[in-house]
Amino acid sequence: DTEVTQTPKHLVMGMTNKKSLKCEQHMGHRAMYWYKQKAKKPPELMFVYSYEKLSINESVPSRFSPECPNSSLLNLHLHALQPEDSALYLCASSQDMRRPGNTEAFFGQGTRLTVV
Amino acid sequence: QQQVKQSPQSLIVQKGGISIINCAYENTAFDYFPWYQQFPGKGPALLIAIRPDVSEKKEGRFTISFNKSAKQFSLHIMDSQPGDSATYFCAARGQGAQKLVFGQGTRLTINP
C-alpha cells in the first residue's frame, strides 16, 4: 500500500470558519509533510513532522496549525483564512529523509480549498 | 543557491515524438534529483529519480540524463503519448535534508 489518503477532497469555507484537513498513511513512514500549491505553480513546503515532532515550519501564518496525533495521521487546522489561502493542499509522507538512502516522498491527491 | 531552474514553461509535442525538459541547479550539495508528474486535480507522483554518481537512468520510455559538471539534468520522454500530457516538475534535495526544492514546472501537451 503506497497510498496517502487526504480528506476532504474539496472544501469551501468562510473567512470566520474553523475547519481541518486530514491525512493518513499506512506505509510506516515517520516523516509527514504539508504543502500548498497554487495554480500553475510548484508545491510549496509548509510543515514537516518527523517522528511526530514538528521539525520544519516554513514561516507559515498562525492561521494554519498542524497536528500529528500519531505516526499515521497528520491534520491541518484552519482558522480565519483569507481568500488568497485558496489552493490545493497536499500531504506527503516518506521515510526519514535525513537517513542515507531514504528518498522517495509519496503525495496524496490533495484537498482543493476555497476560502470565500 | 537553493533554486532549481526548469525550462521550458510549456511544451507541445506530436504523438510519437521525443519530449525534453531541462533543469539546472547551483547548489552542489544536492544529491537526489527526482522528476514528478502531476495530472490536473491530482497530487504529484514520482516518475523517476537519479543520484549524481550516475549519468543516465532509464525506466521504460522515461530517461533522466545528468551532467554533474554543468549542474544540469533533463527528462526525456520517448514515443510521447497523449496520456503523457501533464505538468512535470523537476526537484532536488541535499543529503540529509528534509526539503525538496522544486522547479517551476513544465506543462506538456502531446497532440494526437
Q: What is the pLDDT of residues A3-30, one digit of tens each?
A: 999 999 999 999 999 999 999 999 999 9
What pLDDT was estimated at residue A95? Answer: 86
Average pLDDT, chain A: 93
Residues A92 and A105: beta-carbon distance below 8 Å: yes
Interacting residues of B27 by C-beta distance below 8 A, sequence separation 6+:
B1, B2, B92, B94, B101
Q: Is the pLDDT of residue A93 over 80?
A: yes
Nearest C-alpha neighbor of B86 from the set B68, B110, B50: B110
Question: In chain A, which residue's Cα lies nearest the Cα of B39?
Answer: A109
Q: Cα(A82)–Cα(B45) distance, rounded to whole angstroms?
A: 29
Q: Cα(B22)–Cα(A115) distance, rounded to whole angstroms?
A: 35
Residues A56 and A68: beta-carbon distance below 8 Å: no
Q: Which residues of B touch A112 (CB under 8 A)?
A: 41
β-strands B86-94, B106-111 pairing:
antiparallel
pLDDT tens profile A44-66: 999 999 999 999 999 999 999 99
Smallest Cα distance from B42 to chain A, Å = 5
- More confident position, A74 or A30: A74
Nearest C-alpha neighbor of B98 from the set A19, A46, A31, A59: A31
Q: Is the pLDDT of residue A2 over 70?
A: no
Nearest C-alpha neighbor of B105 from the set B1, B27, B16, B11: B11
Q: Mutation target for A interface from B98, B102, B109: give the one with most A CBs within 10 A.
A: B98
Cβ of B52 under 8 Å from any chain A Cβ? no
pLDDT tens profile A32-41: 999 999 999 9
